[in-house]
Amino acid sequence: MAKTLHVGKLRFPLDRRYYIRKGAHIWILPQKGGTVKLGMDSFLTENAGYLNYISLDKKSTVKRGGSLGSFESAKFVSKLYSPVSGKIIGINEPVLKDPRRINKDPYGSWIVELQASDLEKDLLSPELLEEAGDIKEWIKEELRRAEADE
């Protein structure tokens, strides 16, 4: 079981990295063979409210920072951005059919799996956090920003 960082009622397993591009809140979990699974973090699911719909773009590859698709929640509509470049090799159909699975278990409900084209390079991006202290500071700032927006 992975160690988990808790920030208030939010949790962040430390076996993955977190994409901090403004508003992205996507986690990346490296797998064997240079593949990665992507999902939404608990900050996003908590602040978005119930997820109603996830739509993936009709393409087989994605660039780092590019759109994977979009999601709609009780509070807003937003794009899903990829923290790595690669080929889409898996789609979690049960999650697409019932996006609220992500609200119930954000870290057990991956959305897509990618065969990364240059994972080592992408993992060096300063937009991917893995250290507990860095993640905690980022989330505290996001919470302050969300509170100011209300």
Rounded Cα gap, residues 128 and 27, in angstroms:
9
Q: Which is nearest to 64 in space by CA: 91, 24, 32? A: 24
Predicted TM-score (pTM) of this structure: 0.94
State the pLDDT at residue 90: 97
Considering the chain, what is the average pLDDT of its residues? 94
Look at 14-18, 65-69, 72-76, 123-127 and tell me which has the smallest mean pLDDT. Answer: 72-76
- pLDDT interval class at 2 (50, 70, 90): confident
Rounded Cα gap, residues 90 and 35, in angstroms:
10
Report whether 37 contacts 48 (CB < 8 A): no
- pLDDT interval class at 1 (50, 70, 90): low
The domain locations on the chain are 4-149
pLDDT score of 72 more than 70: yes
CATH number assigned to the domain with residue range 4-149, chosen from the 4 options 1.10.510.10, 3.40.50.2000, 2.40.50.100, 2.30.29.30? 2.40.50.100
pLDDT score of 74 more than 90: no
State the pLDDT at residue 23: 80
State the pLDDT at residue 22: 77
Count of alpha carbons within 13 angstroms of residue 131, beta-carbon side: 6
- Secondary structure (DSSP) of the chain: ---EEEETTEEEETTSEEE-STT--EEEEE-GGGEEEEEE-HHHHHHH-SEEEEEE-S-SEE-TT-EEEEEEESS-EEEEE-SS-EEEEEE-HHHHH-THHHHH-TTT---EEEEESSHHHHHT-TTEE-SHHHHHHHHHHHHHHHHHH-
